[in-house]
């Protein structure tokens, strides 16, 4: 069994009523429900869902630029010139 650390917490009466109800409905102990709540909160804050829409917009923008091809006129510099500065 995992080593446990004793904690004393204060909760509001409405939270106690909810906790007691969860105990009755799930058969879990109060301590187990509190541990599960801590684990749930930790996952929410440490590993939030990522909104990838900004990355998708950026990828679409880059793909549109690539499809346009190179700009007319070419360039007048060489890559090596950048390192000579």
Which class for 83: exposed (0-12), middle (13-18), buried (19 or more C-beta within 10 A)? exposed
Please, are residues 33 and 23 in contact by the beta-carbon 8 Å criterion? yes
Give the per-residue pLDDT at 44.
Answer: 75
Tokens at 52, concatenated: 């990838």
Please, are residues 33 and 19 in contact by the beta-carbon 8 Å criterion? yes
Report pLDDT digits (tens) over 9-54.
Answer: 999 999 999 999 999 999 999 999 999 999 998 887 777 677 889 8
Q: CA angle, corner 17, sides to 16 and 20, nearest 5?
A: 85
Give the per-residue pLDDT at 70.
Answer: 86
């Amino acid at each position: 069994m995992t080593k446990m650390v004793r904690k004393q917490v204060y909760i509001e009466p409405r939270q106690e009523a909810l906790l007691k109800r969860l105990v009755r409905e799930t058969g879990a102990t109060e301590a187990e429900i509190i541990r599960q709540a801590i684990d749930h909160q930790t996952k929410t804050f440490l590993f939030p869902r990522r909104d990838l829409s900004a990355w998708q917009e950026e990828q679409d923008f880059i793909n549109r630029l690539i499809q346009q091809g190179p700009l007319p006129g070419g360039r007048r510099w060489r890559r090596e010139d950048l390192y000579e500065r």
